[in-house]
Structure formats: structure tokens, C-alpha cells
Structure 1
């Protein structure tokens, strides 16, 4: 499990063609940044939250809790009946005069300028005031003094949510559910063309302001600076320096990385992190806050080598990340036995998927380049001939056809169709089929010329290739192992 504040930060990008398990690696890394913590029941949580708090702090905490529920005005009976107040009274072994305690706290910490509270022994700092209806509210000026309490409340509510979530998970036994819950020290995002700085670092977002219940005014929309996924993770890491945190980014080169990271692109370098020899601090674009990336934040990302469209950006990333290649692994694939119910004793009755993938990738590299190769994930779940046929028809051939621009000669070379009879070819030339077969079929069916013209247009748009109909129907020569063994190296 990654931990320790003295560890150097890790910046890694896993690269490879589609289907080589890059995203799977991120999911495995996420487990290393997940803690299984003994579950704390609600009574123990309340005890930990309230133990060191004064009555004034408990009442402030109650008002903050009501604000979370979008209730700004609170009456004394609501304060006294709140679980925080009840739990604090139990800790102090108090049973009587609880309303007097609440009234005393509220009046003592009201402002001298209040028009509704008459009280002599006021404290030096004001937190509450009362409206003409008798309902109390937190003074806006006091909110800056309650930052720590707000954080404690947020953490308390997060643990409550974690407890509740884990109780509903079906993949754990009931005994396990009652003992522990997951605490994640990572954040995972997928980059895409529209992903930007606002989602990753910070941006201006609409916020619905709470309605004023005293005059029944409706909720209003305001705009506030909101922290993005990376900034939130960094704040958690800065508050917990003894643990390591991870930012997991899938498909990092799908977005404009310079725009997403902005001024943080330099800060993520290991030697530029906070407390490192060449530590850097910048002012964030929207809030202007001074910020540096904590040393205990690791960044892992994936990059599909088929999507390398920004060469200069690739060089910028290479200065800041280690690149680890994820090649296809044909050795992970199965051997299909077509003679069901018996062991494979005759190789003519089996299909070695690893050899199929190796053979295809060898010829793909010769014609389309190594970045057009197929990852082992295309065939990883294949356990039967029917599944192999579906993988070829629905995934592998369409992908290769796109990479080849629909060039029939290239596709036929990859599938070793050149010297094969039409019945055994994986790929057919659509124009050749039209010359040999389509005219007779059209004439016999008396189809109109416009329909023939539509067929020609579709063939051209498809790149002039067609998949053997027997392969699609899982029939004919494609029911035999030999046609697939032809794909071996």
C-alpha cells in the first residue's frame, strides 16, 4: 500500500495500442490507494465529533447542519432536539434545563445591536441573532470563524455516507459489512475533447442559493468558484501528508492537456512539488489562491498510441512522466477446442488464439505499422468458436478496415485471403462481388435502377470491402478450425 510522506512522487503514463489492458492497470492501482478501515458506529462517531466541543460550538455545529439541509432559520426546540445537542447532553450527564442551556448560548452570543434580543452578559464574539418570528440564524460575519467546524461536520457526514454505502454493497458478506468500509485515496477521471481546466483544477459554476424562509423569497442562482477533481485531491493530500494519494487519468491525450492542466503543467514535475528542492507555487487562474502540488500525490495515466495526434505535446509530457509500454500479450489467450467434450489431442481440432493474434499483428505491423496492432483484450474473453466469429465480425475486422482505409488488398493480406477460394476468404472485394453475383440477383428480383445505384454508393462508402457472409452466419468453411489456423504466423 503506498504510504509515507518521504516517498518521491510518481508520474507514469501507460502507453499501448487499444486492448492491451491499460485501463485495467489503473483499476488495479486504485486498489493500492484504497484503505479498508474498521467501521465506526454512529454513537462512536458522535462521541468523537462532540467530545472536545463547547456548548457554543455544538450549537454552531447544529446551525451549520441545518444550513446543509437548506434551512437557515432555526427555533430553540429544534436546537434542543437535534442529535448533536442530545448527544452532548448525554456526554455531560445532563437531563434537565436543556432549553435554558440553548437559550443562554444563543443570547450570550448575540450582537449588542440586535433589535430582538435583550441580554446583558454578552460574550465578546457574536454568532447568532433572532428574527421577529422568534427563529434564530447564524450571522453572516461569523461564517469565517466556523471554517474548522464546517470541515469537521463535512468529514462526519462523509463517514456516515461511507458507512451507509458499504452496508448496501452486495459483494461483501454481512459480517464484513459490519466491520469495515472503504476509504479511497484516489480520484479517477477520463479525458475527452471537451474536458478542460474548469473540471480538473477550478472553474466558475452555477450555485443555487438557499431561499429566505422568513419572506418566502425563491432560491436564486449565483456563480461561485468551484474546485475541480485534481485540486480536491491535492487538498486532501495536503491535509494527510503521511499517506499517498493518486490521480488516475484515462486517455490523457484525448483532451488538450495544456489547457486542462494550465499553470499546473510545470508544478506536477517531481522536483517542483511542495517541499522539494525546486518547489514552485503559482496563483490559480480563477481564485488567485497560491497553490503548489503536494509531494504525496502520484499521477498515473493511460495513452492510446493510435491516438498520438499532438507530437509537441507528447514531448512535453515525456519531460514530466515516465512512459511504460503495454504490448499485446498473446500468451494470455485461450486455446479453443472444437471437439467439445474431450481433451485436445489433435491440433487440427483446436484454435490457438495466441497464435491467431500473433499472426494478425505480424502482418498488421508489415502493412499498417505497429501502432495499428490489436491488443489481447479483443480475444481475451473468447471461449468458443461462436465468440471468436463475433469478435472478428463486430470488432476486429471493422477496426482494421478503418485503419486500412477500406483497402481490400491490405485486408486480404492481413487475413491471408489472396490465394484462397472465395468461400474461404474473410474479406471480399465488394466490386468483385458485384461483377460476379449482384447483377444476376438484381435481374432475377427485377429491382429498380435507383436501388442498384444506392447499393453502389453504400459499397463505395464502406471502402469496397465486405465480410464473408458465411463468417457472419457462422457457417460453411468458417465452422472448421483450419480457416482460423491459416492466420497463424
Structure 2
């Protein structure tokens, strides 16, 4: 048993005399001579005589101490609770349930929700004035969505697929913007590098050179809170931050240099090193339009292990 479980009290093999909700964790009470194991229960319907044989698939109840009734759902019990004028809200609000659907914009909404796309609307939930139910195709039972079920869908607004987001989904969900939380990085210092200022400065530059939808999330750096190690910071930049910037700017290394402050550093602390093209590389200069040629860029591996390279991002 667990907190939030529904408990039915046996009356006869066909009926129950009480409905309750487990409200506390298991404890052992040695003041009892026998059966000292107990849990607190909030009894929301008592002194009743309800036959639940059909609801239980015509299987009789037994006098075993406690067992699970897999055939009976909360939806089956709500009419009984209503009939006895108990507070349905105590059942529904005792324990909230959350479903998280990651990258919901990439999914097939029809397959994810099916008929439930209507039932998840607030006014269509169980207990509401416009409550609605559907008959499930396999069990043939009527099903509705309780008001204590919350659906969270996550998506990256920089993702191109958001433009094709299902209209039905847009109408039923509230959209909450979650920008990077640099405050979560307060107090993280790696070899003198202030991680909050580091991310804050890069994101301000990204917002100018690209847009606010592509700012870098703080989650990349959270692991430094427990282990502020330079080699770990180097790994984050080498395997996550730099590849992300390369994708954002289509390997336009001049813009990547601006994000990382390389345009204001000496060569040793630059993450991206620039090398001018040797004009003799293509033979006679008068035969080649050198104006169309750009510098070449290389990643300076040594900079990732240099604390100065990170500090110069925000100290310039």
C-alpha cells in the first residue's frame, strides 16, 4: 500500500462498508499486543452497504488481511461516493498525478491522445458540469479524466517542428516559456571562473547575433555545482557548448569567436584560432581573386584547459 491508495473495507463477500484514502506512511505501533503494523486512513464513506460483486468481475471478496482489487477503478467508486454525499474533492485532490511527455511537438498527437484529446479539457474532466467519458476499446469500460491529473508537454521552441504543432494541442495547453535560469548557477566557481557570469555573457551575445530562442540552457553546467572541476568544464565546452554554437551559426566561426570573446583575447586563450591564407598557396596572385578567400579557423584544444580562456569571455 502507499499514500493516496483507495481502501475498501470488507462487509460480506459481495459488499463493502467503507471507502477511505491512505494518508500516511507505514509505521509500527508497539502499544498493540498483536497486529502493530498500521497506516492512517481518511475514511470518506462509512457505515455503508454497497454490493460491488459485479464491479469486481463477479469475484467474491475474501477475509485476507489486505489485497489489491485490480478490476475496480476510482471511476467505478465515484458514483458510490456521490450517492453517500461525501466530499469527492478529498478523493480527487488527495494525490495529484503528473504525466510528462517529452518533445511532445515531435509526436503524433492522434496516437498519443486518441479520444482523450477531448477529455483532457478542464470543463470535460470528471466532476465538472460538462464532464465527458469514452468507452475504452479493449476493456469496454467507461473512462474519464479526473481533475487531479496534470499533463506536461516539453518542447524546444527553437525546433523547426514547432511551426507544425497540432492546433488541437495549442488550444488545450497553456504555454509557459522556460528561459535559462542563470540564478541556478550562483556560487559555482571553477578555478576562478564564475560560471553564472560566463553563461550570462554568452547568452546576451547569442540574443544579439541570433535570437533569444537559442540561448544556452543552464542545465549544461549544473553538474559543476557538486564537482567544480576544470576538466569537467572543458568537457562541457568541448562536447556540448562549442558543437551547439557550430550548429547555430552554421560554422560561421567569426560569430562563434564573438560569442566566446575570442576577438578580444590573445592567441593562447582563444578557443577558435584564426589563420590568414597564404596568398602564394594558389599560385600567381594576379590570377586569383583573393577577396573571395577567407581566413581558416582551427579549434585551439589547449584553451579548454586554460581558466583564462573562460574568464576572458566575461571580463573583457
Matched, 1:336 2:185: no
Decide which of 17, 20, 25 is 1:37's aligned counterpart. Answer: 25
Question: C-alpha separation between the residues in 2 aligned to 1:257 and 1:358?
Answer: 36
Q: Which residue of 1 aligns with 2:59?
A: 146
Matched, 1:155 2:68: yes
Matched, 1:471 2:316: no
Figure out how many residues of one structure are paired with residues of the other and give that number: 240
Q: Which residue of 2 aligns with 1:372?
A: 214
The within-5 A match list for 1:178-189 is none
- What displacement does 1:287 show? 4.6
Q: Which residue of 2 aligns with 1:359?
A: 201
Question: C-alpha separation between the residues in 2 aligned to 1:406 and 1:279?
Answer: 53
1:237–1:244 Cα contact (<8 Å) kept: no
Residues 181-237 of structure 1, C-alpha deviations (whole Å, 9 max, x = no match): xxxxxxxxxxxxxxxxxxxxxxxxxxxxxxxxxxxxxxxxxxxxxx9xxxx9xx457
Decide which of 135, 143, 154 is 1:291's aligned counterpart. Answer: 143
Comparing both chains, which one has the higher relative contact order based on Cα–Cα distances under 8 Å and sequence gaps of 6 or more? 1
Matched, 1:277 2:265: no
- What secondary structure sits across from 1:295 in the alignment? coil
- What secondary structure sits across from 2:151 in the alignment? strand
- Would you tell me which structure has more helix in proportion to its own residues? 1
- What displacement does 1:375 show? 1.4
Q: Which residue of 1 aligns with 2:239?
A: 394
- What displacement does 1:421 show? 4.4
- What displacement does 1:467 show? 2.6
- What displacement does 1:413 show? 1.9
1:237–1:296 Cα contact (<8 Å) kept: no
- What secondary structure sits across from 1:279 in the alignment? coil
Q: Which residue of 1 aligns with 2:48?
A: none
Alpha-carbon spacing, 1:307–1:146, altered in 2? closer, same or farther (3 Å): farther
Q: Which residue of 2 aligns with 1:247?
A: 98
RMSD, matched Cα: 4.0
The within-5 A match list for 1:136-215 is 144-146=57-59, 155=68
- What secondary structure sits across from 1:319 in the alignment? helix
2:262–2:313 Cα contact (<8 Å) kept: no
Question: C-alpha separation between the residues in 1 aligned to 2:209 and 2:28?
Answer: 60
- What displacement does 1:293 show? 1.2
Alpha-carbon spacing, 1:374–1:146, altered in 2? closer, same or farther (3 Å): same
Q: Which structure has the larger Rg?
A: 1
- What displacement does 1:43 show? 5.8
Question: Which consecutive unaligned segments of at least 5 residues does structure 2 have?
Answer: 5-21, 38-55, 78-90, 282-295
Question: C-alpha separation between the residues in 2 aligned to 1:273 and 1:388?
Answer: 47
